[in-house]
Structure 1
C-alpha cells in the first residue's frame, strides 16, 4: 500500500488542508502509518493523541489512530483538548515518546490538520516532508502476525493540566490577584473546557465569552491576531470595567490581549512584559524573539541585562532554539509565547495568560500602565500579500543579492531584515501560504513610510507588487 498527499498539505510547521478537498480520512490514516513507522524506527512505541473541536476532528482522529495502530504503535487518547494540553500530556504521560494533535488551529471551519511532536521536540520542516516520501513509497512498518497491533486507551488529563497551569501563580500575593477582573474569549475553540475549569479555580473576578466548543465558530473567527476578532472581548472589558481581557485561537496555543483601556497589547509589547518579569527573577537569561519582532524587544531585553537572540519566524523554530540554548523565554509576533523558567518551554496560550496575571502582580502595575511605560514604536503590522508559490523564495533571493551587492546591512536569517539609518525593514517568504510578508519600523511615521517605499521598490525590481492575500 502507498498514499500520495495533495502537495499543498505538507507545510513547514504542520500538516493542513481543506477537509473533503485536500484532506480526508485516507490522509489521516497515512499520517498514522508514516508517523507511527518513524516513531518505531526511532525506538518508540507509544504516542499521545488529541483533537480540537472542529466537526471533522473526530473522523480524522479515528483514521489517524487506525494508522498508528496498524504500525504497531500504542496510543493514549486524551479526547477534546487544546493543543498545549496535548504537549503537556506528552511530557507527563508514562512511557510516551511523542504526540499528535488533530487541529486546524486558527484556520476556517472547513480546514483541519495535524501538529506533531517526537521525543519532546517539534516535528516540522524536513521531518514532515519525509512523511510524504514514506507514504508515497509505502515505506511503512509491518506488524507480524504473531505480534499484536498497537493498543489504544483513553486517559483524562484536563484536571492535571489545570493543576499545572495554576502553579504559574505560586508565591504571589493572593490579595493582588484576587482584586483582578479579567475577561476571557475562547472563541468557541478548544480552549473552552480548560478555561472554564481554570477560571473556576483562579482568584479574582472572571467573565467568559464563547467557552462552549463549536467547530462552526458561530461568533467570530478564532484568530486573535486580527483586531476585528477582538471586538467582543473589547466590549466586555469596557462594559464590565475589567483590568484586561485575553482571547485564544482555535487550539489555544496563541493569545491576543486587550488592556483595561480597550487597546490591543500586541505581541511585541507582551514579550517585553514577560521579559521584565522573567529577567527580574533570572538575571542574564536568554530571550528569543522572531525575525519580525520590533527592535524595541531586543533593546529592552539587553537593557534589562538579558541576552537577546533573533530566530527564524515560526513556533517550531523558536521551540527548537529554546531547547538548544536553554533560553527561558521566547515569543513570536503571531502571539505564540514560550515560557521555560517555571514551565516546559512550549507555546501554551492558557499558561501565558496565567503568567500575564503573575507578571502584573510581581511588577506591581496593571497591564495598561505597563504598556504606557514602554518605548514608543512606529511600525507596521505584518503586511502579507500574495505571490505564487513557485516565485516567492526566488523573489527573496533576488532582493537579497541586490542588497548585498549595494552594500546594505542585511540579516539573512529568515528572508532579509535590512538595517537602515532610520530603522529596519523585513521581507520574507511565508512558510504556510503562497505569500510574502513584510514589516518596517522607524522612529517616525515618515521613516516608516520611507522604509515601506523601499520595500515596494525592491519588489518592483523583481516584478512583484503588494496586495491582499
Structure 2
C-alpha cells in the first residue's frame, strides 16, 4: 500500500481462527486499520442499506509478484544474525509457510527445523491459535528432542507469534519484547515506547532505566497503532503475541518479531531462559477472566473501593487501573462475554494472593 500509495487495502483472513471464520481486515490510505470508530461504521451503514450503484469508473485487477520479493528482502535490510543459532519453527500450515523458506535463506546463521511448512487452510495438524495448549504440543516436543536456542509458533495469518525457550517453556510476550525494545533504545535513547495498560511494571521500569519514556495505551490493534503513530514509537507489544514495528508501517508482524528476537539472541552469550528473565521480579496473575453479573458495576465497584486510598493512582485509559507503590491491577470489561479481564501484579507472592482474594471477593460471581 505504501509503495503504491494506494487508497486502501483489504486482507482476507480468519486470523487465529479456523477458515470458516474468514473475514476482511480493511486498511485506510496511510495503512491504518479501519475499525468501528475509524470508518467501519460508515461501511456497515452503506452495506446495511442494501442498495448499490454502478461506479462511474471501474477498476482493474493486477497481479504483481514483485511485492512478494520486496516483502522477503525487507527483513534482510533490518536484521543481522551475528552467530549461528538453532531454532524450531512451527508455521502451523498458515500463511507464514509461504514465505519463511525464502526469508530464512537470507539468514544462513539461522539453522532451523521446520514444522508444518506446507500451507493447509483446513489446519488438520493443529488449531491455528498458538496460545492453545493443543497447538503447542509439536513445538514443545521438537524442542525436547534437540539442542535449540529457542522455538516459535505462528498463528494462521502470521501476525502473531509465541516464543518458547530452550527448555520448551512458553514465554511471556512482554518479556520477549523487552530485549528487542532495549535494542531499539540503543538507536534512539529517548524514544517513546507505547505499551498497553496491563504491561508489567518490570517492563516499564526497564525501559525508563534505559532512557525511554513509556506512554500507556488502550489494548487493541487500532488503539496501539494510533498511539504509536502519535508518538513515533519504534515498537510495541500485546500479551497475546502481537508485536508492532514502526519500520513495518506501525503494523504487527510475527516474522519480524521472530527475526528481531533471533538477532538479539545471536548477540548474547546467555540462554533464552535468562535473556527473558527481568532484572526486577514481580508476582503476577497474568490475565484472569472473572465472571460477573454486571460488568459496568464491577468496574465501578473496583474504582470506588480504592480511589480514595492513600498513595493511590487511578487511571481509566482502558477499564480501570489502580496503582499502589507495592501492587497494582487493571480491570476491563470483555466486549463479547459476561466477564471482566483482570491483571494483578505485586511485589511478593504473598501480597499477590492477598490482593487477588480481596478483589475477587469485591467483584463477586454469579
Q: Does TM-score exceed 0.5, indicating one fold?
A: yes
TM-score (structure 1 length as normaliser):
0.71
Show the counterpart of 2:324.
Answer: 420
Query: 2:17 matched to 1:107?
Result: yes
Give the secondary structure class of the aligned counterpart of 1:169. Answer: coil
List 4+ stretches of structure 1 deviating above 6 A: none
Match of 1:336 among 237, 242, 267: 242
Show the counterpart of 1:260.
Answer: 166
Q: Is the 8 A contact 1:380 1:439 kept in 2?
A: yes
Give the secondary structure class of the aligned counterpart of 2:14. Answer: coil
Show the counterpart of 2:115.
Answer: 209
What are structure 1's unaligned runs of at least 5 residues?
1-89
Show the counterpart of 1:324.
Answer: 230
Q: Is the 8 A contact 1:410 1:416 kept in 2?
A: yes
Give CA-to-partner distance per residue, 1:39-76, whole Å, 9 cap, x none. xxxxxxxxxxxxxxxxxxxxxxxxxxxxxxxxxxxxxx
Show the counterpart of 2:189.
Answer: 283
Q: Is the 8 A contact 1:185 1:233 kept in 2?
A: yes
Give me the whole-angstrom Cα distance separating, in 2, the residues matched to 1:344 and 1:117.
Answer: 12
TM-fit CA distance, 1:280: 1.8
Give the secondary structure class of the aligned counterpart of 2:262. Answer: helix
Give the secondary structure class of the aligned counterpart of 2:344. Answer: strand
TM-fit CA distance, 1:133: 2.2
Distance 1:398 1:137, change over 3 A: farther
Give me the whole-angstrom Cα distance separating, in 1, the residues matched to 2:334 and 2:328.
Answer: 19
Match of 1:135 among 30, 42, 47: 47
Query: 2:295 matched to 1:430?
Result: no
Give the secondary structure class of the aligned counterpart of 2:105. Answer: helix
Give the secondary structure class of the aligned counterpart of 1:184. Answer: strand
Distance 1:98 1:276, change over 3 A: same
Larger helix share, 1 or 2: 1
Q: Is the 8 A contact 1:192 1:213 kept in 2?
A: yes
Give me the whole-angstrom Cα distance separating, in 1, the residues matched to 2:190 and 2:249.
Answer: 19
Q: Is the 8 A contact 2:202 2:278 kept in 1?
A: no
Show the counterpart of 2:32.
Answer: 121
Give the secondary structure class of the aligned counterpart of 1:437. Answer: strand
TM-fit CA distance, 1:315: 1.8
TM-fit CA distance, 1:300: 0.7
Distance 1:112 1:358, change over 3 A: same
Distance 1:192 1:359, change over 3 A: same
Show the counterpart of 1:160.
Answer: 70
Distance 1:387 1:298, change over 3 A: same
Give me the whole-angstrom Cα distance separating, in 1, the residues matched to 2:305 and 2:40.
Answer: 32
311-320 or 391-400, which deviates more: 391-400
Show the counterpart of 2:137.
Answer: 231
Question: Number of matched residues?
Answer: 361
TM-fit CA distance, 1:434: 4.9
Show the counterpart of 1:400.
Answer: 303
Distance 1:425 1:114, change over 3 A: same
RMSD: 2.3
TM-score (structure 2 length as normaliser):
0.90
Give the secondary structure class of the aligned counterpart of 1:100. Answer: strand
Q: Is the 8 A contact 2:292 2:298 kept in 1?
A: no
Please give the residue correspondences for 1:450-469 in structure 2 after superposition, counting only pairs within 5 Å: 450-460=354-364, 464-465=365-366
Give the secondary structure class of the aligned counterpart of 1:382. Answer: strand
Show the counterpart of 1:21.
Answer: none
Query: 2:105 matched to 1:194?
Result: no
Give me the whole-angstrom Cα distance separating, in 2, the residues matched to 1:99 and 1:122.
Answer: 10
Give me the whole-angstrom Cα distance separating, in 2, the residues matched to 1:281 and 1:374.
Answer: 22
Q: Is the 8 A contact 1:424 1:451 kept in 2?
A: no
